[in-house]
A and B are shown apart, each in its own frame.
Chain A
Protein backbone atom coordinates (compact mmCIF):
# COMPACT_ATOMS: atom_id res chain seq x y z
CA UNK A 1 0.00 0.00 0.00
CA UNK A 2 1.29 3.46 -0.88
CA UNK A 3 2.22 5.53 2.16
CA UNK A 4 -0.03 8.46 2.97
CA UNK A 5 2.89 10.73 3.88
CA UNK A 6 6.26 10.40 2.29
CA UNK A 7 9.13 12.51 3.57
CA UNK A 8 12.31 12.36 1.52
CA UNK A 9 15.71 13.75 2.45
CA UNK A 10 14.19 16.59 4.40
CA UNK A 11 16.56 19.15 5.92
CA UNK A 12 15.98 22.34 7.79
CA UNK A 13 18.55 24.89 8.82
CA UNK A 14 17.03 27.85 10.62
CA UNK A 15 18.26 31.35 9.87
CA UNK A 16 20.27 31.23 13.06
CA UNK A 17 22.33 28.51 11.41
CA UNK A 18 20.87 25.84 13.65
CA UNK A 19 20.37 22.52 11.90
CA UNK A 20 17.00 21.32 13.14
CA UNK A 21 16.57 18.47 10.65
CA UNK A 22 19.23 16.65 8.70
CA UNK A 23 18.32 14.39 5.83
CA UNK A 24 15.17 12.88 7.29
CA UNK A 25 13.28 10.31 5.24
CA UNK A 26 10.15 8.70 6.55
CA UNK A 27 6.98 7.06 5.34
CA UNK A 28 3.72 7.07 7.23
CA UNK A 29 1.21 4.38 6.37
CA UNK A 30 -2.46 5.12 5.96
CA UNK A 31 -4.48 4.48 9.08
CA UNK A 32 -1.60 3.93 11.45
CA UNK A 33 -0.73 5.65 14.71
CA UNK A 34 2.84 6.80 14.47
CA UNK A 35 4.67 8.09 17.52
CA UNK A 36 7.58 10.43 17.10
CA UNK A 37 9.86 10.32 20.09
CA UNK A 38 12.87 12.43 20.89
CA UNK A 39 14.33 14.68 23.54
CA UNK A 40 13.68 18.44 23.69
CA UNK A 41 14.97 20.21 20.61
CA UNK A 42 15.24 17.02 18.60
CA UNK A 43 13.31 18.47 15.66
CA UNK A 44 9.89 16.88 16.12
CA UNK A 45 7.93 20.11 15.92
CA UNK A 46 10.05 21.30 13.01
CA UNK A 47 9.23 18.14 11.06
CA UNK A 48 5.52 18.48 11.74
CA UNK A 49 5.58 22.19 10.93
CA UNK A 50 7.16 21.55 7.56
CA UNK A 51 4.56 18.95 6.62
CA UNK A 52 1.77 21.34 7.66
CA UNK A 53 3.24 24.29 5.77
CA UNK A 54 4.31 26.42 8.72
CA UNK A 55 8.04 26.10 8.16
CA UNK A 56 9.79 26.20 4.83
CA UNK A 57 12.23 23.30 4.38
CA UNK A 58 15.80 24.00 3.34
CA UNK A 59 15.99 20.85 1.29
CA UNK A 60 14.04 17.73 0.46
CA UNK A 61 10.41 17.07 -0.34
CA UNK A 62 7.23 15.85 1.27
CA UNK A 63 4.20 14.37 -0.41
CA UNK A 64 0.79 13.68 1.10
CA UNK A 65 -1.29 11.15 -0.82
CA UNK A 66 1.07 11.76 -3.71
CA UNK A 67 0.61 15.53 -3.67
CA UNK A 68 3.57 17.82 -3.11
CA UNK A 69 3.20 19.99 0.00
CA UNK A 70 4.44 23.09 -1.79
CA UNK A 71 3.05 22.77 -5.29
CA UNK A 72 -0.27 21.15 -4.36
CA UNK A 73 -0.62 22.74 -0.94
CA UNK A 74 -4.39 22.94 -1.18
CA UNK A 75 -4.68 19.20 -1.65
CA UNK A 76 -2.24 18.33 1.11
CA UNK A 77 -3.34 20.85 3.71
CA UNK A 78 -7.04 20.16 3.38
CA UNK A 79 -6.30 16.55 4.39
CA UNK A 80 -4.38 17.52 7.50
CA UNK A 81 -5.51 18.57 10.95
CA UNK A 82 -2.89 20.00 13.28
CA UNK A 83 -2.92 20.30 17.05
CA UNK A 84 0.19 22.34 17.76
CA UNK A 85 2.33 22.00 20.82
CA UNK A 86 1.67 25.53 22.05
CA UNK A 87 -1.73 26.42 23.45
CA UNK A 88 -2.64 29.26 21.14
CA UNK A 89 -6.28 30.17 21.13
CA UNK A 90 -8.51 33.07 20.20
CA UNK A 91 -8.94 34.02 23.83
CA UNK A 92 -11.85 36.39 23.31
CA UNK A 93 -13.88 34.20 21.00
CA UNK A 94 -16.38 31.54 21.89
CA UNK A 95 -15.64 27.88 21.37
CA UNK A 96 -18.29 27.70 18.68
CA UNK A 97 -16.92 30.69 16.77
CA UNK A 98 -13.41 29.35 16.75
CA UNK A 99 -14.31 25.86 15.53
CA UNK A 100 -16.57 27.36 12.86
CA UNK A 101 -13.65 29.47 11.68
CA UNK A 102 -11.43 26.40 11.49
CA UNK A 103 -13.89 24.48 9.39
CA UNK A 104 -14.28 27.36 6.96
CA UNK A 105 -10.55 27.97 6.72
CA UNK A 106 -10.08 24.45 5.47
CA UNK A 107 -12.63 25.00 2.77
CA UNK A 108 -15.46 22.94 4.21
CA UNK A 109 -19.08 24.04 3.99
CA UNK A 110 -20.54 24.81 7.38
CA UNK A 111 -21.96 21.72 9.07
CA UNK A 112 -23.30 22.39 12.56
CA UNK A 113 -24.10 18.70 13.06
CA UNK A 114 -20.48 17.69 12.57
CA UNK A 115 -19.21 20.45 14.84
CA UNK A 116 -21.70 19.40 17.47
CA UNK A 117 -20.45 15.82 17.30
CA UNK A 118 -16.82 16.94 17.62
CA UNK A 119 -17.63 19.15 20.60
CA UNK A 120 -19.65 16.42 22.25
CA UNK A 121 -16.86 13.89 21.76
CA UNK A 122 -14.51 16.25 23.53
CA UNK A 123 -17.02 17.12 26.28
CA UNK A 124 -17.06 20.71 25.07
CA UNK A 125 -20.66 20.94 23.99
CA UNK A 126 -21.74 22.63 27.22
CA UNK A 127 -19.00 25.17 26.75
CA UNK A 128 -19.79 26.08 23.17
CA UNK A 129 -20.84 29.63 24.02
CA UNK A 130 -18.08 30.21 26.56
CA UNK A 131 -15.20 32.51 25.74
CA UNK A 132 -12.02 30.49 25.44
CA UNK A 133 -10.08 32.53 27.97
CA UNK A 134 -12.57 31.42 30.61
CA UNK A 135 -11.68 27.77 30.04
CA UNK A 136 -9.08 25.80 31.96
CA UNK A 137 -5.84 24.74 30.30
CA UNK A 138 -7.07 21.20 29.68
CA UNK A 139 -10.26 22.52 28.12
CA UNK A 140 -8.26 24.80 25.87
CA UNK A 141 -6.27 21.79 24.75
CA UNK A 142 -9.56 20.13 23.83
CA UNK A 143 -10.59 23.23 21.89
CA UNK A 144 -7.37 22.94 19.90
CA UNK A 145 -8.23 19.34 19.12
CA UNK A 146 -11.78 20.28 18.20
CA UNK A 147 -10.44 22.88 15.79
CA UNK A 148 -8.20 20.32 14.15
CA UNK A 149 -11.08 17.86 13.81
CA UNK A 150 -13.62 20.43 12.66
CA UNK A 151 -12.75 19.92 9.01
CA UNK A 152 -12.75 16.13 9.04
CA UNK A 153 -9.06 15.59 8.31
CA UNK A 154 -7.73 12.25 7.10
CA UNK A 155 -4.42 12.87 8.83
CA UNK A 156 -4.11 14.25 12.33
CA UNK A 157 -0.94 15.64 13.86
CA UNK A 158 -0.87 15.81 17.64
CA UNK A 159 2.20 17.64 18.87
CA UNK A 160 2.48 16.68 22.51
CA UNK A 161 -1.26 16.58 23.05
CA UNK A 162 -1.05 15.37 26.61
CA UNK A 163 1.44 17.85 28.02
CA UNK A 164 -0.15 19.31 31.13
CA UNK A 165 -3.26 17.20 30.86
CA UNK A 166 -4.66 15.23 33.76
CA UNK A 167 -5.00 11.48 33.79
CA UNK A 168 -8.69 11.41 33.02
CA UNK A 169 -8.48 13.75 30.06
CA UNK A 170 -5.49 11.83 28.80
CA UNK A 171 -7.48 8.65 28.88
CA UNK A 172 -10.37 10.36 27.08
CA UNK A 173 -8.00 11.67 24.48
CA UNK A 174 -6.56 8.27 23.78
CA UNK A 175 -10.03 6.84 23.49
CA UNK A 176 -10.76 9.52 20.94
CA UNK A 177 -7.55 8.78 19.06
CA UNK A 178 -8.48 5.11 18.88
CA UNK A 179 -11.95 6.02 17.69
CA UNK A 180 -10.48 8.25 14.98
CA UNK A 181 -8.11 5.55 13.87
CA UNK A 182 -10.99 3.13 13.69
CA UNK A 183 -12.60 5.65 11.35
CA UNK A 184 -9.54 5.51 9.11
CA UNK A 185 -7.69 8.61 10.26
CA UNK A 186 -3.89 8.46 10.22
CA UNK A 187 -2.41 9.83 13.42
CA UNK A 188 1.08 11.16 14.01
CA UNK A 189 1.85 12.17 17.56
CA UNK A 190 4.79 13.32 19.56
CA UNK A 191 5.02 12.74 23.23
CA UNK A 192 7.45 12.73 26.09
CA UNK A 193 5.41 10.12 27.90
CA UNK A 194 6.85 7.00 26.48
CA UNK A 195 4.25 4.78 28.06
CA UNK A 196 1.80 6.57 25.81
CA UNK A 197 3.68 5.67 22.69
CA UNK A 198 4.03 2.19 24.06
CA UNK A 199 0.34 1.92 24.62
CA UNK A 200 -0.97 3.72 21.57
CA UNK A 201 1.41 3.57 18.66
CA UNK A 202 1.68 1.04 15.89
CA UNK A 203 5.07 2.31 14.89
CA UNK A 204 7.65 4.44 16.57
CA UNK A 205 10.22 6.83 15.16
CA UNK A 206 13.04 8.15 17.27
CA UNK A 207 14.55 11.46 16.32
CA UNK A 208 17.60 12.97 17.94
CA UNK A 209 19.61 16.01 17.00
CA UNK A 210 17.62 16.40 13.79
CA UNK A 211 18.33 12.86 12.63
CA UNK A 212 15.88 10.03 12.45
CA UNK A 213 17.72 7.45 14.48
CA UNK A 214 15.25 4.65 14.05
CA UNK A 215 11.81 3.79 12.74
CA UNK A 216 10.25 0.52 13.63
CA UNK A 217 7.16 -1.38 14.42
CA UNK A 218 6.66 -0.92 18.14
CA UNK A 219 6.36 -4.60 19.04
CA UNK A 220 9.25 -5.45 16.76
CA UNK A 221 11.31 -2.67 18.25
CA UNK A 222 10.73 -3.81 21.76
CA UNK A 223 11.55 -7.34 20.82
CA UNK A 224 14.63 -6.39 18.89
CA UNK A 225 16.03 -3.79 21.16
CA UNK A 226 14.56 -5.20 24.29
CA UNK A 227 16.86 -6.51 26.95
CA UNK A 228 15.24 -8.99 29.21
CA UNK A 229 16.07 -9.48 32.83
CA UNK A 230 15.83 -12.65 34.79
CA UNK A 231 15.79 -12.14 38.52
CA UNK A 232 16.44 -15.05 40.82
CA UNK A 233 15.53 -14.94 44.47
CA UNK A 234 18.20 -16.82 46.33
CA UNK A 235 17.51 -19.14 49.20
CA UNK A 236 20.31 -17.70 51.26
CA UNK A 237 21.84 -14.27 50.80
CA UNK A 238 25.35 -14.19 49.43
CA UNK A 239 27.98 -11.45 49.69
CA UNK A 240 29.66 -12.00 46.38
CA UNK A 241 28.79 -13.55 43.04
CA UNK A 242 30.98 -16.58 42.44
CA UNK A 243 33.85 -15.68 40.09
CA UNK A 244 33.13 -18.49 37.61
CA UNK A 245 29.62 -17.03 37.04
CA UNK A 246 30.58 -13.36 36.51
CA UNK A 247 33.08 -14.45 33.89
CA UNK A 248 30.39 -15.76 31.56
CA UNK A 249 27.22 -13.99 32.61
CA UNK A 250 26.10 -10.38 32.96
CA UNK A 251 25.01 -10.63 36.56
CA UNK A 252 24.29 -8.19 39.33
CA UNK A 253 23.55 -8.72 42.97
CA UNK A 254 21.00 -6.80 45.00
CA UNK A 255 22.16 -4.85 48.01
CA UNK A 256 20.91 -7.35 50.55
CA UNK A 257 22.44 -10.20 48.59
CA UNK A 258 19.19 -12.09 48.08
CA UNK A 259 18.52 -11.31 44.43
CA UNK A 260 20.64 -12.14 41.48
CA UNK A 261 19.74 -10.42 38.21
CA UNK A 262 20.78 -11.69 34.85
CA UNK A 263 20.25 -9.48 31.82
CA UNK A 264 20.28 -10.94 28.37
CA UNK A 265 19.34 -10.14 24.83
CA UNK A 266 16.13 -11.76 23.65
CA UNK A 267 17.39 -11.74 20.08
CA UNK A 268 20.62 -13.58 20.85
CA UNK A 269 21.11 -17.07 19.46
CA UNK A 270 21.27 -18.47 22.99
CA UNK A 271 19.90 -16.69 25.96
CA UNK A 272 22.28 -18.57 28.23
CA UNK A 273 19.61 -19.33 30.76
CA UNK A 274 20.22 -23.08 30.80
CA UNK A 275 23.96 -22.64 31.34
CA UNK A 276 23.31 -20.06 34.03
CA UNK A 277 21.03 -22.40 35.90
CA UNK A 278 23.47 -25.27 35.77
CA UNK A 279 26.25 -22.86 36.71
CA UNK A 280 24.26 -21.85 39.75
CA UNK A 281 23.80 -25.45 40.76
CA UNK A 282 27.48 -26.13 40.42
CA UNK A 283 28.23 -23.13 42.56
CA UNK A 284 25.83 -24.50 45.13
CA UNK A 285 23.35 -21.65 44.87
CA UNK A 286 19.72 -22.50 45.23
CA UNK A 287 16.85 -20.18 44.42
CA UNK A 288 13.27 -20.22 45.50
CA UNK A 289 11.63 -17.97 42.94
CA UNK A 290 12.29 -16.24 39.67
CA UNK A 291 10.79 -13.53 37.50
CA UNK A 292 11.54 -11.96 34.13
CA UNK A 293 11.04 -8.44 32.92
CA UNK A 294 11.28 -6.97 29.43
CA UNK A 295 12.71 -3.45 29.10
CA UNK A 296 10.21 -0.74 28.26
CA UNK A 297 10.25 1.57 25.30
CA UNK A 298 11.54 4.22 27.62
CA UNK A 299 14.67 2.29 28.40
CA UNK A 300 15.16 1.60 24.72
CA UNK A 301 14.65 5.24 23.98
CA UNK A 302 17.11 6.42 26.56
CA UNK A 303 19.72 4.01 25.31
CA UNK A 304 19.18 5.25 21.76
CA UNK A 305 19.41 8.96 22.40
CA UNK A 306 22.23 8.77 24.85
CA UNK A 307 25.10 10.02 22.82
CA UNK A 308 28.34 8.14 22.93
CA UNK A 309 30.63 9.89 25.36
CA UNK A 310 27.80 10.90 27.67
CA UNK A 311 29.07 8.29 30.07
CA UNK A 312 26.97 5.96 32.20
Chain B
Protein backbone atom coordinates (compact mmCIF):
# COMPACT_ATOMS: atom_id res chain seq x y z
CA UNK B 1 0.00 0.00 0.00
CA UNK B 2 1.15 3.52 -0.75
CA UNK B 3 2.43 5.31 2.32
CA UNK B 4 0.16 8.33 2.33
CA UNK B 5 1.68 9.72 5.48
CA UNK B 6 4.98 10.28 3.74
CA UNK B 7 3.40 11.97 0.75
CA UNK B 8 3.03 15.68 0.32
CA UNK B 9 -0.37 17.13 -0.34
CA UNK B 10 0.62 17.75 -3.96
CA UNK B 11 1.64 14.11 -4.45
CA UNK B 12 -1.59 13.02 -2.91
CA UNK B 13 -3.65 14.88 -5.46
CA UNK B 14 -1.48 13.53 -8.26
CA UNK B 15 -2.18 10.02 -7.15
CA UNK B 16 -5.88 10.33 -6.49
CA UNK B 17 -6.58 12.61 -9.44
CA UNK B 18 -9.74 14.06 -8.03
CA UNK B 19 -11.76 13.94 -4.94
CA UNK B 20 -13.61 10.70 -4.64
CA UNK B 21 -11.46 8.50 -6.80
CA UNK B 22 -11.18 6.57 -3.68
CA UNK B 23 -10.41 3.00 -4.62
CA UNK B 24 -6.79 3.73 -3.73
CA UNK B 25 -7.83 4.87 -0.30
CA UNK B 26 -10.19 1.97 0.31
CA UNK B 27 -7.94 0.13 2.68
CA UNK B 28 -6.24 3.18 4.07
CA UNK B 29 -7.34 2.95 7.67
CA UNK B 30 -5.23 5.24 9.77
CA UNK B 31 -4.34 7.63 6.99
CA UNK B 32 -4.79 11.24 7.94
CA UNK B 33 -7.16 12.55 5.35
CA UNK B 34 -7.47 15.77 7.30
CA UNK B 35 -4.93 17.29 4.95
CA UNK B 36 -7.34 17.12 2.02
CA UNK B 37 -9.50 20.20 2.04
CA UNK B 38 -11.87 19.14 -0.70
CA UNK B 39 -15.09 19.75 1.17
CA UNK B 40 -14.57 23.48 1.53
CA UNK B 41 -15.68 24.29 -2.02
CA UNK B 42 -19.00 26.07 -2.16
CA UNK B 43 -21.86 24.15 -3.69
CA UNK B 44 -22.53 26.08 -6.94
CA UNK B 45 -26.06 27.09 -7.73
CA UNK B 46 -27.70 24.33 -5.75
CA UNK B 47 -29.08 26.08 -2.69
CA UNK B 48 -30.26 24.32 0.42
CA UNK B 49 -33.08 25.75 2.49
CA UNK B 50 -31.63 25.26 5.97
CA UNK B 51 -33.22 22.44 7.94
CA UNK B 52 -32.59 19.82 10.59
CA UNK B 53 -32.93 16.06 10.50
CA UNK B 54 -32.28 13.43 13.15
CA UNK B 55 -30.76 9.96 13.23
CA UNK B 56 -31.69 7.13 15.57
CA UNK B 57 -30.08 3.73 15.33
CA UNK B 58 -29.24 0.32 16.76
CA UNK B 59 -31.98 -0.17 19.36
CA UNK B 60 -31.42 -3.98 19.37
CA UNK B 61 -34.82 -4.61 20.91
CA UNK B 62 -35.21 -7.96 22.66
CA UNK B 63 -38.47 -9.89 23.01
CA UNK B 64 -38.49 -9.48 26.82
CA UNK B 65 -41.26 -7.24 28.17
CA UNK B 66 -40.09 -3.92 29.64
CA UNK B 67 -36.49 -4.45 28.54
CA UNK B 68 -34.13 -1.57 29.35
CA UNK B 69 -33.46 -1.07 25.62
CA UNK B 70 -37.19 -0.38 25.02
CA UNK B 71 -36.96 2.51 27.46
CA UNK B 72 -33.84 3.90 25.78
CA UNK B 73 -35.46 3.93 22.35
CA UNK B 74 -38.53 5.58 23.91
CA UNK B 75 -36.25 8.19 25.43
CA UNK B 76 -34.48 8.87 22.10
CA UNK B 77 -37.87 9.22 20.39
CA UNK B 78 -38.99 11.72 23.03
CA UNK B 79 -35.72 13.69 22.62
CA UNK B 80 -36.29 13.74 18.85
CA UNK B 81 -39.82 15.03 19.21
CA UNK B 82 -38.50 17.91 21.34
CA UNK B 83 -35.75 18.77 18.83
CA UNK B 84 -38.27 19.01 15.98
CA UNK B 85 -36.27 17.78 12.99
CA UNK B 86 -37.97 17.71 9.55
CA UNK B 87 -37.68 13.91 9.57
CA UNK B 88 -35.86 11.03 11.24
CA UNK B 89 -33.58 8.47 9.67
CA UNK B 90 -33.18 5.09 11.29
CA UNK B 91 -29.85 3.38 10.45
CA UNK B 92 -30.67 -0.29 11.16
CA UNK B 93 -30.63 -2.98 13.90
CA UNK B 94 -34.08 -2.25 15.31
CA UNK B 95 -34.30 -5.88 16.46
CA UNK B 96 -31.71 -8.05 18.21
CA UNK B 97 -32.76 -11.44 16.77
CA UNK B 98 -34.78 -10.34 13.73
CA UNK B 99 -38.08 -11.70 15.05
CA UNK B 100 -41.45 -10.21 14.02
CA UNK B 101 -42.33 -9.33 17.63
CA UNK B 102 -39.11 -7.34 18.04
CA UNK B 103 -39.68 -5.47 14.77
CA UNK B 104 -43.31 -4.90 15.84
CA UNK B 105 -42.14 -3.41 19.10
CA UNK B 106 -39.70 -1.14 17.26
CA UNK B 107 -42.31 0.02 14.82
CA UNK B 108 -44.70 0.76 17.67
CA UNK B 109 -42.16 2.86 19.59
CA UNK B 110 -40.97 4.65 16.45
CA UNK B 111 -44.57 5.46 15.50
CA UNK B 112 -44.53 7.91 18.43
CA UNK B 113 -42.29 10.18 16.37
CA UNK B 114 -44.21 13.27 15.34
CA UNK B 115 -42.32 13.61 12.03
CA UNK B 116 -41.74 11.30 9.02
CA UNK B 117 -39.39 8.34 9.40
CA UNK B 118 -37.18 6.54 6.87
CA UNK B 119 -35.52 3.23 7.74
CA UNK B 120 -32.73 1.03 6.39
CA UNK B 121 -31.98 -2.49 7.68
CA UNK B 122 -29.15 -3.84 9.83
CA UNK B 123 -27.92 -7.42 10.02
CA UNK B 124 -29.89 -8.06 13.22
CA UNK B 125 -33.14 -7.17 11.39
CA UNK B 126 -32.52 -9.34 8.39
CA UNK B 127 -31.10 -12.83 8.65
CA UNK B 128 -33.87 -14.77 10.38
CA UNK B 129 -36.19 -14.53 7.36
CA UNK B 130 -33.94 -12.66 4.88
CA UNK B 131 -35.70 -9.38 5.49
CA UNK B 132 -39.29 -10.61 4.94
CA UNK B 133 -40.67 -9.25 8.23
CA UNK B 134 -38.55 -6.12 7.99
CA UNK B 135 -39.80 -5.29 4.48
CA UNK B 136 -43.36 -5.91 5.66
CA UNK B 137 -42.88 -3.31 8.37
CA UNK B 138 -40.64 -0.73 6.75
CA UNK B 139 -40.81 -1.17 2.96
CA UNK B 140 -38.04 -1.31 0.37
CA UNK B 141 -34.42 -1.86 1.45
CA UNK B 142 -33.15 1.09 -0.61
CA UNK B 143 -34.70 4.41 -1.50
CA UNK B 144 -33.96 8.03 -2.32
CA UNK B 145 -35.82 11.31 -1.93
CA UNK B 146 -35.21 15.03 -2.24
CA UNK B 147 -35.75 17.46 0.59
CA UNK B 148 -35.16 21.23 0.48
CA UNK B 149 -32.45 20.94 -2.16
CA UNK B 150 -30.67 17.86 -0.77
CA UNK B 151 -30.75 14.38 -2.32
CA UNK B 152 -31.04 11.63 0.33
CA UNK B 153 -30.12 8.01 -0.41
CA UNK B 154 -30.57 4.92 1.77
CA UNK B 155 -29.17 1.46 0.99
CA UNK B 156 -28.99 -2.01 2.50
CA UNK B 157 -25.28 -2.59 3.15
CA UNK B 158 -25.46 -5.86 5.12
CA UNK B 159 -25.83 -8.38 2.27
CA UNK B 160 -23.44 -11.34 2.43
CA UNK B 161 -22.82 -14.33 0.18
CA UNK B 162 -24.85 -17.42 1.02
CA UNK B 163 -22.86 -19.22 3.72
CA UNK B 164 -25.84 -21.17 5.12
CA UNK B 165 -27.24 -23.36 2.33
CA UNK B 166 -24.05 -25.36 1.81
CA UNK B 167 -23.59 -25.67 5.58
CA UNK B 168 -27.20 -26.88 5.98
CA UNK B 169 -28.00 -24.17 8.53
CA UNK B 170 -31.49 -23.41 9.80
CA UNK B 171 -32.71 -19.79 9.64
CA UNK B 172 -32.13 -19.57 13.39
CA UNK B 173 -28.54 -20.78 13.05
CA UNK B 174 -27.97 -18.31 10.21
CA UNK B 175 -29.29 -15.53 12.41
CA UNK B 176 -27.03 -16.70 15.24
CA UNK B 177 -23.97 -16.38 13.03
CA UNK B 178 -24.95 -12.85 12.01
CA UNK B 179 -25.74 -11.78 15.57
CA UNK B 180 -22.14 -12.24 16.63
CA UNK B 181 -20.09 -9.19 15.72
CA UNK B 182 -16.80 -11.05 15.54
CA UNK B 183 -18.14 -14.10 13.74
CA UNK B 184 -15.70 -15.07 11.02
CA UNK B 185 -18.25 -17.27 9.23
CA UNK B 186 -20.32 -14.66 7.42
CA UNK B 187 -17.50 -12.73 5.78
CA UNK B 188 -17.59 -9.11 4.71
CA UNK B 189 -20.89 -7.63 3.64
CA UNK B 190 -21.91 -4.96 1.14
CA UNK B 191 -24.76 -3.50 -0.94
CA UNK B 192 -23.99 -5.83 -3.90
CA UNK B 193 -24.39 -5.42 -7.65
CA UNK B 194 -28.12 -4.78 -7.88
CA UNK B 195 -28.02 -1.80 -5.53
CA UNK B 196 -24.85 -0.46 -7.17
CA UNK B 197 -26.74 -0.41 -10.49
CA UNK B 198 -29.68 1.24 -8.78
CA UNK B 199 -27.38 3.88 -7.28
CA UNK B 200 -25.79 4.63 -10.65
CA UNK B 201 -29.23 5.21 -12.18
CA UNK B 202 -30.46 7.16 -9.17
CA UNK B 203 -27.73 9.81 -9.36
CA UNK B 204 -27.21 9.78 -13.14
CA UNK B 205 -29.24 12.88 -13.89
CA UNK B 206 -28.25 14.87 -10.82
CA UNK B 207 -25.99 17.90 -11.33
CA UNK B 208 -22.58 17.57 -9.71
CA UNK B 209 -23.35 20.42 -7.31
CA UNK B 210 -26.33 18.57 -5.82
CA UNK B 211 -25.81 18.05 -2.08
CA UNK B 212 -25.86 14.29 -1.37
CA UNK B 213 -26.55 12.52 1.92
CA UNK B 214 -26.20 8.74 1.97
CA UNK B 215 -27.24 6.28 4.69
CA UNK B 216 -25.98 2.74 5.17
CA UNK B 217 -25.88 0.47 8.20
CA UNK B 218 -22.11 0.01 7.97
CA UNK B 219 -19.36 2.58 7.31
CA UNK B 220 -18.50 3.36 3.68
CA UNK B 221 -14.81 3.01 4.51
CA UNK B 222 -12.56 0.21 5.70
CA UNK B 223 -12.60 0.86 9.44
CA UNK B 224 -12.31 -2.62 11.01
CA UNK B 225 -13.40 -5.40 8.66
CA UNK B 226 -13.31 -8.11 11.31
CA UNK B 227 -16.38 -6.54 12.97
CA UNK B 228 -17.88 -5.61 9.62
CA UNK B 229 -17.03 -1.97 10.35
CA UNK B 230 -16.81 -1.80 6.56
CA UNK B 231 -18.88 -2.13 3.39
CA UNK B 232 -17.05 -4.29 0.87
CA UNK B 233 -18.28 -2.31 -2.14
CA UNK B 234 -17.77 1.09 -0.51
CA UNK B 235 -15.02 1.92 -3.05
CA UNK B 236 -17.56 1.44 -5.87
CA UNK B 237 -20.13 3.55 -4.01
CA UNK B 238 -17.60 6.33 -3.45
CA UNK B 239 -16.62 6.11 -7.12
CA UNK B 240 -20.25 6.49 -8.26
CA UNK B 241 -20.66 9.48 -5.94
CA UNK B 242 -17.29 11.00 -6.86
CA UNK B 243 -18.82 13.42 -9.38
CA UNK B 244 -20.49 15.37 -6.58
CA UNK B 245 -18.84 18.31 -4.89
CA UNK B 246 -19.75 17.06 -1.45
CA UNK B 247 -21.25 13.89 -0.01
CA UNK B 248 -22.21 13.24 3.59
CA UNK B 249 -22.34 9.62 4.69
CA UNK B 250 -24.04 8.49 7.91
CA UNK B 251 -23.94 4.96 9.23
CA UNK B 252 -25.09 2.83 12.16
CA UNK B 253 -23.60 -0.50 13.30
CA UNK B 254 -20.52 0.87 15.08
CA UNK B 255 -22.48 2.05 18.17
CA UNK B 256 -20.03 4.89 18.71
CA UNK B 257 -19.06 8.36 17.60
CA UNK B 258 -16.53 8.20 14.79
CA UNK B 259 -15.58 10.46 11.89
CA UNK B 260 -13.60 10.02 8.72
CA UNK B 261 -13.17 11.77 5.41
CA UNK B 262 -12.23 10.21 2.10
CA UNK B 263 -12.15 12.45 -0.95
CA UNK B 264 -15.46 14.30 -1.25
CA UNK B 265 -17.15 12.15 1.40
CA UNK B 266 -17.39 13.05 5.06
CA UNK B 267 -18.41 9.97 7.04
CA UNK B 268 -20.08 9.98 10.44
CA UNK B 269 -20.82 7.07 12.79
CA UNK B 270 -23.77 7.18 15.17
CA UNK B 271 -24.54 6.39 18.80
CA UNK B 272 -26.89 3.51 19.47
CA UNK B 273 -29.67 3.29 22.02
CA UNK B 274 -28.53 -0.14 23.26
CA UNK B 275 -24.83 -0.46 24.13
CA UNK B 276 -21.57 1.13 22.95
CA UNK B 277 -19.12 -1.04 21.02
CA UNK B 278 -15.48 -0.54 22.05
CA UNK B 279 -13.20 1.26 19.63
CA UNK B 280 -11.38 -1.29 17.53
CA UNK B 281 -7.59 -1.35 17.88
CA UNK B 282 -6.77 0.69 14.79
CA UNK B 283 -5.42 4.19 14.56
CA UNK B 284 -7.97 6.74 13.46
CA UNK B 285 -7.48 9.82 11.31
CA UNK B 286 -9.72 11.83 13.66
CA UNK B 287 -9.24 10.41 17.15
CA UNK B 288 -10.73 13.51 18.75
CA UNK B 289 -14.10 12.27 17.50
CA UNK B 290 -14.02 9.25 19.82
CA UNK B 291 -16.50 9.44 22.67
CA UNK B 292 -15.28 8.95 26.24
CA UNK B 293 -15.43 5.48 27.68
CA UNK B 294 -18.83 4.73 29.20
CA UNK B 295 -19.37 4.06 32.88
CA UNK B 296 -20.57 0.44 32.88
CA UNK B 297 -22.69 1.18 35.94
CA UNK B 298 -24.73 3.78 34.06
CA UNK B 299 -26.85 1.93 31.51
CA UNK B 300 -27.52 5.08 29.51
CA UNK B 301 -23.92 6.20 29.25
CA UNK B 302 -22.38 5.89 25.80
CA UNK B 303 -25.72 5.94 23.99
CA UNK B 304 -27.90 8.63 22.48
CA UNK B 305 -29.30 10.13 19.30
CA UNK B 306 -28.08 12.68 16.77
CA UNK B 307 -29.19 15.87 15.07
CA UNK B 308 -27.82 17.30 11.85
CA UNK B 309 -28.36 20.93 10.89
CA UNK B 310 -27.81 21.67 7.22
CA UNK B 311 -27.06 25.28 6.25
CA UNK B 312 -27.75 26.96 2.90
CA UNK B 313 -24.23 26.17 1.67
CA UNK B 314 -24.69 22.49 2.67
CA UNK B 315 -22.23 22.85 5.51
CA UNK B 316 -23.52 20.22 7.87
CA UNK B 317 -23.28 20.59 11.61
CA UNK B 318 -23.25 17.30 13.44
CA UNK B 319 -24.67 17.26 16.94
CA UNK B 320 -24.42 14.09 18.98
CA UNK B 321 -27.07 14.01 21.69
CA UNK B 322 -25.76 11.54 24.29
CA UNK B 323 -27.98 10.46 27.19
CA UNK B 324 -25.04 11.01 29.56
CA UNK B 325 -22.11 13.41 29.11
CA UNK B 326 -19.63 11.51 26.95
CA UNK B 327 -18.36 13.89 24.27
CA UNK B 328 -14.88 15.30 23.76
CA UNK B 329 -14.54 19.11 23.39
CA UNK B 330 -14.32 18.64 19.59
CA UNK B 331 -17.81 17.18 19.49
CA UNK B 332 -19.50 18.94 22.38
CA UNK B 333 -21.02 21.89 20.53
CA UNK B 334 -21.31 20.14 17.20
CA UNK B 335 -18.77 19.88 14.42
CA UNK B 336 -18.62 20.41 10.67
CA UNK B 337 -18.94 17.27 8.61
Tell me if chain B binds chain A: no
User: What is the interface of chain B, defined by CB distance below 8 A to chain A?
Assistant: none
